[in-house]
Amino acid sequence: MFRFILKSLLSHSLSFLLVMFLVFMLVFRVGGETVLPTAGNLSITKKLPVSRPPSLSEMPGAYLRWFSKALRLQFGTSLSSRRPVSGLIFPRLWNSVLLNLFSLFLIFLGGILLGTFLAYHTPESGHPLESLLYILYAVPDFVLGVLLLSVFAFSLHWFPSCCLHSFDISISTPWMRWLDVLYHLILPGITLSASGLVFITRFTKSSLIEILDAPYIFALRSRGIPARRVLRHVLKNGIFPFLTMAGFIIPAIVGGAVVVESLFSFPGIGKTFFDAVLARDYPVILAICFIDTLFVFLGLMISNLLYYCFDPRVKYADS
């Protein structure tokens, strides 16, 4: 197992270095000027003079200097707010982590439950729920978010339309504060998890249907084994495609958070990244790309490790 972890760590580290070098090179070769609001009127902007970007021959050295500081979480100073980048993004990073964890919980819990239900109750002609799921998968995140805001936030006033906390001073206990945070996470969490939910549901259903037709499941049923114990065997053997898809869901969640956070004015690094791109704030852009890419590769490594633990074939191939 140690050799498998070391091999995975080395391969993902090299990929991480290459991806960040491409991002670093693209950011500095785009050019342009950073836009800053004036002190007197925030609606009037001025342009900050930009120093000469490194040339192609200087790019590797500049990248290594930046990467060595980034490993120590030193990302420089924001060009637009003149604040340290670490102090700007890390308080908002935990908000994005909370939103992504909530979305992953909805994706995997809902995907497994719906996939299991469809595997056992789908007739040959198909289930109407599948058609609804395909429609949900075809709707872009920003369209679904606007629809949820229009119906549940602005028309029915059931959920808040922005932020992470209420401005109600009566919410004082920690339990009430956590419930208030969960209340604000519902709409952006549903928007962010919609596509992944359909994805996991589809793969869970197809995997379970294949296992339900296996000879050993027929043997278990013929021996009079209760349906609950048969379902336990089915889920145990159907987890492998689920683990494979988990490695692809995490990057999709990270990428979609930029649109969703901007739409719901969510105080996360996705919204910060969107504002930094508009202002051409290169230190903030590079820092958020570094953190997002790191989370993506960590998710892929965790997926590979889970596959190694659950699938004996991977262990035998490694040995």
* Cα separation, 193 vs 252, whole angstroms: 10
Tell me, yes or no, whether 296 lies in a domain.
yes
Tell me, yes or no, whether 227 lies in a domain.
yes
The answer, yes or no, to whether residue 221 has pLDDT greater than 80, is: no
Per cent of the chain over pLDDT 70 is 74
The count of structural domains within the chain is 1
Tell me, yes or no, whether 48 lies in a domain.
no
Tell me, yes or no, whether 46 lies in a domain.
no
Q: Are 25 and 59 in contact (CB under 8 A)?
A: yes
Residue 170 has a pLDDT of 58
- 42-71: per-residue pLDDT in tens? 444 445 445 555 666 777 888 888 888 888
Structure-token match 């200097």, residue found: 65
Average pLDDT over residues 307-311: 65
The answer, yes or no, to whether residue 40 has pLDDT greater than 50, is: no
Q: Which residue has the higher pLDDT, 292 or 125?
A: 292
Residue 46 has a pLDDT of 47
Residue 45 has a pLDDT of 46
Query: Which CATH number covers residue 197?
Result: 1.10.3720.10
* Cα separation, 142 vs 301, whole angstroms: 29
- 248-303: per-residue pLDDT in tens? 666 666 666 778 888 888 888 888 888 888 878 888 888 888 888 887 787 777 77
Structure-token match 């852009």, residue found: 285
Residue 310 has a pLDDT of 63
Tell me, yes or no, whether 100 lies in a domain.
yes
Tell me, yes or no, whether 176 lies in a domain.
yes
Least confident interval from 106-115, 234-243, 282-291: 234-243
Residue 1 has a pLDDT of 64
Residue 42 has a pLDDT of 42
Tell me the average pLDDT of the chain. Answer: 76
Least confident interval from 10-24, 101-115, 178-192, 250-264: 250-264
Tell me, yes or no, whether 43 lies in a domain.
no
* Cα separation, 162 vs 225, whole angstroms: 51
The answer, yes or no, to whether residue 41 has pLDDT greater than 50, is: no
Virtual torsion, Cα 283, 286, 289, 293, nearest 10 deg: -130
Tell me, yes or no, whether 47 lies in a domain.
no
Q: Are 53 and 11 in contact (CB under 8 A)?
A: no
- In the three-class reduction of DSSP (H, G, I as helix; E, B as strand; rest coil), residue 46 is classed as strand
Average pLDDT over residues 10-24: 85
160 φ, ψ to 5°? Answer: -70, 155
Residue 30 has a pLDDT of 66
Per cent of the chain over pLDDT 90 is 0
- What is the pTM for the complete model shown? 0.74
Residue 149 has a pLDDT of 87
- In the three-class reduction of DSSP (H, G, I as helix; E, B as strand; rest coil), residue 48 is classed as strand
- Residue 257's domain comprises 2-34+59-318
